[in-house]
Amino acid sequence: MKRYGNLINGNMDNAGIEYDVISPIDGSIYAKAVKASEEKTKEAIDIAYDAREKWENIPLSGRKKIFAKMVSIFEEKLDDYARIEAENTGRTLRQSVFMDTNIALEHMRYFSTTNEFKSSRKIKHPEYPQSYGIVQNRPIGVVGAITPWNVPLLMAVWKIFPALLAGNTMVLKPSHYTPATTFELALDLKRAGLPDGVLNIVTGEGSVIGKALAKSEKVRGLSFTGSTETGRNVTRNAAGTIKKIVMELGGKSPNIVLEDADLERAAKGVLFGIFLHSGQLCESGSRLLVQSSIKEKFLRVLESYAERMKSGDPLDMNTDIGAITTAEQYDKIRNMIRRAEDDGAKVFYRKTIEGSVPKGGFYIGPTIMDNLSPGMEIASEEVFGPVLSVLEFDKISEAVEIANQSNYGLACGVWSKDTRKAIKVANMINAGTVWINDYHLISAAAPRGGFGNSGIGRELGREGIYEFTESRHFFVSDENNELVDLSFGLIVSD
């Protein structure tokens, strides 16, 4: 059984309360970890603060070389990472193999090779032709990062690599439910040559560690992924300090299927959009907005494909349906379905999985809810589970109105054979990412984030790197600058 202490200054620190890390596959104890205290978190912050100058002074090319070495290490251990992620989170091994680890690898490779980030650039001053400027993008210092329990490996990559590439140091808190791959990633980065103290990992209660990160004056930036309500608490805790905050929060993302869509392709995409990792993804397409003229036909196509999904042991490569990652989330999903039925919603489809999944695990069969109105809880609030809410519309303008009624604005899908029309619809949707005839695919080169209650700031792409930099300007003037001399003359005459 693996045991994880808190990784501080390159060493595993086992001081603290040890606890059991539970595998949602069968409820067994998967690993042991140690909860960090407020004092231990402050120690990690101090270490990261002291490591700033050394790391910042390593040139950008040197940081990339360390990342490139990490890419090689990770590539050799893909199967190990995939299994750890599946065992700790409950997602299927096939999803971990073909999505999580491969996406993580490509995103690490992007940040080890990208030329999108420039630490400085020269500019012209249009008003003062006898001068020029140097704009620098300097690291802000210590970045605090907080990741959720659903996709810990990818979230850790998205937090660590952009911030460190820009020259920052970091204290990262993974969820205490799913810390395993984050610790493995940090240990392998150390093997790749990352200096001690640049990346520190502390796990435990968000009310302790998250609060300490938010309130610390030494932490100059916060990167948080989690629920909208927790995001509000993080913001309140950070209010006494002036720091940059990037947040990717909740979502209630619509998948809009127009009557001219390829229904077979759209059905597969809608199911992929909601049932990947049992709906436990912030951008999951949990609202199906389907045009009335095709609704009944489309639901039958959805049902036929959903019936093909295989339940079983998530570690079997043939299994399609994974576990719910935490017992608390399992209870929350079941209660939301129950309340929806009490409010008059109908279960159009629920896959029977009893008897085919491991005993002791947390499982809910893929569920499709119909007979909904936009204001119902199940249709407007984030479920974070394998539940698809069906809403219908007649005109495209109605679909846009329903899609934008939500306070969230993380993602959206639009399905139509007419790409031009689909893009026109996408332009009217308030969402940070809109997929056209696709869903869930994420590029390291593209910014990711939400509108409204789905967050502020962006991750990934050059935007995600620049989030944790401060720009400054050097105004360089020639000695014989007539305009400058004229300006001086407003105060000091010859």
Buried b / exposed e across 28-64, counting CB within 10 Å, b at 16+? Answer: eebbebbbbbeebbbbbbbbbbebbeebbebeeeebb
Phi and psi of 247, rounded to 5°? -135, 130
C-alpha torsion angle, residues 70, 71, 73, 78 (rounded to 10): 130
- Residue 314 burial (CB count, 10 A): 30
In three-state secondary structure terms, 231 is helix
Across 376-428, the runs of DSSP E, i.e. the strands, are 387-393, 408-409, 411-415
Task: Respond yes or no: is residue 18 known to be catalytic.
Answer: no
3-state secondary structure of 360: coil
| Options 43, 248, 392, 467, the catalytic residue | 248
Catalytic (active site) residue 377: no
Please give the Cα distance from 220 to 48 (Å, whole number).
Answer: 11
Q: Tell me the DSSP string of 2-31.
A: EEE-EEETTEEE--SEEEEEEPTTTS-EEE
> What SS3 class is residue 414?
strand
* Residue tagged active-site, from 282, 283, 382, 459: 282
Helix axis angle, 101-113 to 78-89, nearest 10°: 120
Residues with catalytic roles: 248, 282
